[in-house]
Chains A and B, each alone.
Chain A
Amino acid sequence: MSRAASVNRAAPPALLLAMLLLAPAADAARSHPVIAGSSTIFPFAAAVAERAPGPGALILPMGSGAGIAWFCEGLGAQTPDIVMASRAMTPEEASACRVAGASPLERVQIGWDGIVLAAHADGALPGLTLADLWRALAQRVPDPAGGTEWVANPYRSWHEIRPELPDLPIRVLGPPATSGTRDAFAALAIRPACEAALHGHPRADGERRHCGELRRDGAWVDAGENDDGLIARLGADPASLGVVGFGALVRNAGRVGAVCLDGSCPDADTIRAGGYPLARPLYLYLKPAHRAFVPSLDAFVAGFFAAQATAEGGRLARLGLVPAPADAARQPHAADAGAVTGAGWRNIRGWIAGGVLLAVVVALAAGMALVRRPVPASRLLEKAMGTVLWSSAVVSGALLAVVLATLVVPTLNFFLQVSPVEFLGGRHWSPESAIRASQVVGEGAFGVLPVLLGSVMVAFIALAFALPLACAAAVHGHAWAGLRFRRGWRVGMRLAALIPAVVYGLFAALTAGPAIAATAAALGLGAAAESTLAAGIVVGIMLLPVLAVRIEDALAAIPAAAAEAALGLGATRWEALRDIVLPAARPAIGAAVLLAVSRALGETVVVLMAVGLVANWTLDPLASTTTVTAQMVALMSGTHELDNVRTQLPFVLGLFLAIIILPPNAWALRILRRSNVTPSPVY
């Protein structure tokens, strides 16, 4: 029952969405745990959540730093209950937490991670020392020509650092500056050697602040947050090394090996015992106050220590977690006093963004004003306008082609690894574990049927809910309502159609879902808070105004003479509608319904907030479900590397969705073209 939306910190809109999702929630409004932070811990947390009892957890990998910043915004349902940290909180962070009132905190060490220097399995590099690493990767090093000056790192080859090392270019792929793994690597691997070299050095004061800085001349490559993606790149470039978590090494055993450091090679024992120099503890920080409304908080944490998961060969161990003994792990965390970090730059950035936005708006307004100014017509102007319009048409066509190509290429790659039969016929959907690319394919975790079923059921429930209401409302507005009511109704419906979908999403997540779950519980039925029924009804509510307006337009498009003829013969209003107007309006109503169907299938924001992420192969509308669109967003995580099936999946689903939405859309357009009803300007 895990709900593991993946949000990358390099994708602020997604983070914004996640925060928006929780933003207006009252304390009582959610009972599932929300966990954010380190992407190193994310696979472990996702695995724990899959087996955890109680409501599914929302797990958002965004890096330790970003996770802690959000975590420390304060208490309450709109902040995470737990932050995953691949390093201890800094005094500044602890202080921010304290200032915001999020303290006291508890810190749980779930285990250790070793930072591993991975190399291609056939790599020729023997063991290194930390001093070698420092010289190879630090931004500034002592001048190899001698003297006391430090210079920008001049080394190109390992051989130049130590003659015994092979003559291979220095090229190390690693996570970007926002990553906890990167921080830990700099602190553990680079800084100590730097400090040692500066001990008693005349230039120590000037150079010390550069300790821990990594080269910016290309020898160090920021390769993204996704360890598995990084390892895939190593396969293509055997001379490179990669800085990854121990978990990634375990998951990719056989493809890559580890470089031993200071004579110690990384394995579970050396990491736990502290023999491996780049071992670091993995922590969860949690807010005890949140136990009040997230009863499953402790059960979730306990999942990290479950014996069968942490034992050798257990689920977490196979993912590469070096577990900590449960008793030694937990301790209250006193938030240390420290300087409160300034938020100056963030404000400045906001001002700049606002300024740019304003400039764009002003430019657009000026452009509009220019266009609207009457200009004397001339052949030249006519020709210029023609050219402009022609190029716009070409550009939009070309953009469409690019979009399609964007979808097609990863899709083809995906189907080289996963058979289409499995994708289209499988009933088991578990793409999050596809981090272990090669293994999972055999398990058939890419069966799209349950996801498709979720989408179809949501759309069906939405239509079943919205269509009768919309029809009745439209018929009333068309034939019964008085002039004033009709005018008000039309304006109201058109305004309602303009409400952003995200508002309906909030309604679904905070009001409709819990209400339906509570109603079902009162009736003695078990309903998930994120039930298909709730999602369907909210999508239905969202479709209602658009549908009603379109149906009313369809009725209004039927010439009054037809209805008058029936009325003149003594038909009642209802008889005239039933016998004459509705049959004549049927094509346009059908088109409206088909467009609503394709909109319901493609609806993203509402279902993202209203449904879960677990695909259930069931017709039970009270069970939780997922949809194609929700899966796409969830899978758009972190890295944009397209080298494994998991990251290709959103593209596959996108193309799939486009294809299943095509027939109803095309049919609707055909009907509209045939019956010559102009689509209403609602969208």
Chain B
Amino acid sequence: MNAVAESTPAAEPVAGIEPTKFHVTTSPDGAALDLRSFNLWYGDVQALFDVNMEIQKGLVTALIGPSGCGKSTLLRSLNRMNDLVDELKVSGEIIVNDENILRSGIDVIALRKRMGMVFQKPNPFAMSIYENVVYPLRVDGVSNKKILNETCERALKGAALWDEAKDRLQESALSLSGGQQQRLCIARAIASDPEILLMDEPCSALDPIATAKIEELIDELKGHYSIVIVTHNMQQAARVSDNTAFMYLGRLIEYGTTDTVFTNPRAKRTSDYVTGRFG
């Protein structure tokens, strides 16, 4: 289900770039996520090599790179969705709030509740719009109608769907258009008020108008949430993100302010990719 890196790592070492010393736009609140020497294997195949990066609180971080570079894998490691993959091995640390979430004793369910996730294809449940949005609360055992109603309204407003959906909350979520469905998924992801939003190519199944709306929404959500977004769309990365990470064959090649990565990258491979010479 994930892009898996080739078994051979990038042939040439990336000379001259000390991984921890990337120059990024920093947040006054510090790092939301801190990856230290993170490695990941599917069985015997290593998919991520020694990833070191700090993801800044309240900012939007874009992960870019050609297909199979490991960016989705990296994203799914952040809330341990990869646990579902058979024969997965990891090493290194991912620090959230001074805690290494790769530790075996961690409460994965609680972790996932702190991180909303939005997938490539809109995947609303076959329930009403209302039930979709409050599902995270239902899972938590919340049954107070008032809280549920308030949450529903707040989340739908937060996802810019309230005006379109408020009169049809009890209709099936599947009756919404594709773009609306994706905004519903975002509403659902922010309903439990997470700290971090993980977005895996959230616009790749949407038309340009729906895409524009989502991008607008990301802009609004930033500040309140730390957002990590995987995208294939270079313009999108340039438009919505503060920092951009370029990955290639399972390695983090370059990580910096979006402006730098797109206009003056340090690695030649990055500049080849962002200017469309390969990938």
Give chain A's interface residues, CB within 8 Å of chain B.
482-483, 559-562, 564-572, 575, 579-580, 583-584
Find out whether the CB atom of B126 lies under 8 angstroms from the CB atom of A483. Answer: no
Find out whether the CB atom of B86 lies under 8 angstroms from the CB atom of A579. Answer: no
Instruction: Write the nearest CB–CB distance from B1 to chain A, whole angstroms.
Output: 6
Find out whether the CB atom of A569 lies under 8 angstroms from the CB atom of B112. Answer: yes
Q: State in angstroms the CA–CA spacing of A568 and B190 once bound together.
A: 12
Contact of B86 among A483, A559, A584 (CB under 8 A): A483
Whether a CB of chain A sits under 8 angstroms from the CB of B119 is: yes
Q: Given the interface contacts A568-B112, A569-B139, A570-B139, does A584 sit within 8 Å of B126 by beta carbon?
A: yes
Find out whether the CB atom of A569 lies under 8 angstroms from the CB atom of B119. Answer: no
Q: Given the interface contacts A483-B87, A562-B123, A580-B125, does A569 sit within 8 Å of B192 by beta carbon?
A: yes
Bin the interface of chain B by size: 20 to 34
Find out whether the CB atom of A570 lies under 8 angstroms from the CB atom of B110. Answer: yes
Instruction: Write the nearest CB–CB distance from B6 to chain A, whole angstroms.
Output: 22
Q: State in angstroms the CA–CA spacing of A89 and B86 once bound together.
A: 71
Q: State in angstroms the CA–CA spacing of A583 and B135 once bound together.
A: 15
Find out whether the CB atom of A568 lies under 8 angstroms from the CB atom of B117. Answer: yes
Q: State in angstroms the CA–CA spacing of A534 and B188 once bound together.
A: 51
Looking at chain A's contact residues, the main secondary structure is helix
Q: Given the interface contacts A568-B81, A569-B116, A570-B192, does A579 sit within 8 Å of B135 by beta carbon?
A: yes
Between A and B, 27 residue pairs with Cβ closer than 8 Å are: A482-B86, A561-B119, A561-B121, A561-B123, A562-B123, A564-B81, A564-B84, A565-B123, A565-B125, A565-B185, A567-B84, A568-B79, A568-B81, A568-B117, A569-B116, A569-B136, A569-B189, A569-B192, A570-B109, A570-B110, A570-B136, A570-B140, A571-B109, A571-B136, A571-B139, A572-B109, A575-B139
Residues of B75-89 whose CB lies within 8 A of A: 79, 81, 84, 86-87
Find out whether the CB atom of A569 lies under 8 angstroms from the CB atom of B113. Answer: yes
| Interchain pairs with CB closer than 8 A, number | 66
Give chain B's interface residues, CB within 8 Å of chain A.
1, 79, 81, 84, 86-87, 109-110, 112-113, 116-117, 119, 121, 123-126, 135-136, 139-140, 185, 188-189, 192, 198
Residues of A near B136 (CB, < 8 A) are: 569-571
Residues of A near B121 (CB, < 8 A) are: 561
Residues of B near A565 (CB, < 8 A) are: 117, 119, 123-125, 185, 188
Instruction: Write the nearest CB–CB distance from A368 to chain B, whole angstroms.
Output: 38
Q: Given A570-B109, A570-B113, 17 other A-B contacts at CB below 8 A?
A: A483-B87, A564-B81, A564-B84, A564-B119, A565-B117, A565-B119, A565-B124, A566-B135, A568-B112, A568-B116, A568-B117, A568-B198, A571-B109, A571-B139, A572-B139, A579-B139, A580-B125
Residues of B near A568 (CB, < 8 A) are: 79, 81, 112, 116-117, 119, 189, 198
Residues of B near A567 (CB, < 8 A) are: 81, 84, 112
Question: Which residue of chain B has its CB nearest to the CB of A575?
Answer: B139
Instruction: Write the nearest CB–CB distance from A565 to chain B, whole angstroms.
Output: 4
Question: Which residue of chain B has its CB nearest to the CB of A563?
Answer: B84
Residues of A near B86 (CB, < 8 A) are: 482-483
Instruction: Write the nearest CB–CB distance from B140 to chain A, whole angstroms.
Output: 8
Of all A-B residue pairs in the complex, the 10 with the closest CB atoms, nearest first, are: A568-B117, A570-B113, A483-B86, A570-B112, A561-B123, A565-B123, A569-B136, A571-B139, A570-B109, A575-B139
Q: State in angstroms the CA–CA spacing of A569 and B186 once bound together.
A: 11
Find out whether the CB atom of B113 lies under 8 angstroms from the CB atom of A560. Answer: no
Residues of B near A580 (CB, < 8 A) are: 125
Q: State in angstroms the CA–CA spacing of A566 and B132 once bound together.
A: 10
Contact of A560 among B1, B112, B198 (CB under 8 A): B1
Q: Given the interface contacts A568-B117, A575-B139, does A583 sit within 8 Å of B185 by beta carbon?
A: no
Q: State in angstroms the CA–CA spacing of A580 and B119 once bound together.
A: 16
Question: Which residue of chain A has its CB nearest to the CB of B135?
Answer: A569
Q: State in angstroms the CA–CA spacing of A583 and B127 once bound together.
A: 10
Instruction: Write the nearest CB–CB distance from B114 to chain A, whole angstroms.
Output: 8
Q: State in angstroms the CA–CA spacing of A566 and B119 once bound together.
A: 11
Residues of B near A482 (CB, < 8 A) are: 86
Instruction: Write the nearest CB–CB distance from B46 to chain A, whole angstroms.
Output: 18
Instruction: Write the nearest CB–CB distance from A151 to chain B, whole angstroms.
Output: 88
Contact of B125 among A560, A572, A579 (CB under 8 A): A579
Q: State in angstroms the CA–CA spacing of A571 and B136 once bound together.
A: 7
